Structure 1
Amino acid sequence: MMTEFPPEFWQGIEEFNRGEFYACHDTLEAIWLESVDPEKKFYQGILQIGVGFYHLSNHNWKGCLMLLGEGTNRLRYYRPEYGEIDVEGLFSETLEILQTLQEAGEERTAEFASKYGLTRELPEIPLPKVRKVSS
């Protein structure tokens, strides 16, 4: 059975992919609050990853690690894909960033926020995107 996502989901994904993580949070939280599993946990996983990157942009290392960890943990059950979404790509790319940040340590938070383009225009290292599964 193919999962049909509401238009608000796709709006939240566009915001996520543009790095508008605060807006993405608001958009996805509205549908998350009204949804039931299995969609509820799926929305929450993406939402938490977005909020994790928002925390990184504010140099909140602990908040970033906590939410990236919780988000990837929720998404692990939806791999490799869910609906039209390439969950494996988002999961593995986010997990790699989480491990990089853990190893780098809190004192390098601002450096990585900059490298990922969260504090300037052009990222040295692109953040993960939510992508559709290639057909």
Structure 2
Amino acid sequence: MERYLLHFKNEKYLPQNCRELAYRARDLANDMDVSVRLARVATKFIEFDVAAKKEDLDPLVEKLSPIGEIDNVRHVVEEHIDKEKGIADGIFYFNNERFWECHEAFEGVWNQCYGREKELVQGIILIAVAFAHEQENEENIGIGMLRRALEKLGTSPSMYYSIDVDRIRKHVVNMQQGNKLIRFEI
């Protein structure tokens, strides 16, 4: 079986519904040889992390259609990508609340970095993972990650490619002070 992220359009669900959605998806697909690992809830989509055979994807999407209309299916494989492409993908995923994919894209970048740059990228990864936890209704875990993310961002230059690191630091500090994760774009 292979790993896939299925994105269904979201019109009414909140992160608090993530477990209920995972259970519902498992019930809808209970007669299939698939594994629905978990659900993450973003503003515009519900993300299911699943293990399935490629030939089972279309039937699985059909089974899950009562939850919402399919928006995107992504096969998750470890791949080596160009650093600039990884950064662009990471920014796209972050800004579209696809935080787990953002984490994976920046991890590919991180693998190509050294020294201070590696620390900075790890800080961005930690923020994406914090938001992924929030999408799983685990906001306290995400808030707890902010201190470490801020340490990793440190006193990095204010810009990293097209990413305004100073702006990210300000958002992280504000979220720490408010004890609340508030989504923003990078």
Distance 1:13 1:26 in 2: 11
1:128 correspondence with 2:184: yes
RMSD: 2.0
Give yes or no for contact 1:80–1:86 (8 Å, CA) kept in 2: yes
Give the secondary-structure state (helix, strand or coil) at the position aligned to 2:137. Answer: coil
Q: Which structure has more strand as a fraction of its residues?
A: 2
1:70 deviates by 1.2
Which range moved further: 47-56 or 25-34?
25-34
Q: Do the aligned residues in 1 keep the contact of 2:94 with 2:185 (CA within 8 Å)?
A: yes
The alpha carbon displacement at 1:33 in A equals: 2.4
Determine the C-alpha separation between the residues in 2 that align with 1:83 and 1:9.
8
Distance 1:30 1:80 in 2: 22
Shift in alpha-carbon separation, 1:27–1:65, aligned structure 2, 3 A: same
Distance 2:139 2:132 in 1: 10
Post-superposition offset of 1:87? 0.9
Where is the helix percentage greater, Structure 1 or Structure 2? 1
Note if 1:18 corresponds to 2:96.
Answer: yes
> Which of 165, 169, 176 does residue 91 from structure 1 map onto?
169
Letter in 1 for 2:88: W
Q: Distance in 1 between matches of 2:84 and 2:107?
A: 13
> What is the TM-score with the length of structure 1 in the denominator?
0.67
Aligned residues: 104
Letter aligned with residue 58 of structure 1:
E
TM (normalized to structure 2)? 0.50
Amino acid of the structure 1 residue aligned with 2:185: K
Structure number with greater Rg is 2
Query: What's the CA shift for 1:94?
Result: 2.0
Q: Give the Å deviation of 1:79.
A: 4.6
Give the superposition deviation at 1:27: 1.0
Whichever residue aligns with residue 85 of structure 1, its letter is: I
Q: Confirm or deny: 8 A CA contact 1:94 1:128 kept in the other structure.
A: no
User: Identity across aligned pairs (percent)?
Assistant: 24
* Residue 115 of structure 2 is aligned to residue 59 of structure 1: no
Unpaired segments ≥5 residues, structure 1? 102-111, 117-126, 131-135
- Tell me which of the two structures has the higher relative contact order, counting C-alpha pairs closer than 8 angstroms and 6 or more residues apart: 1
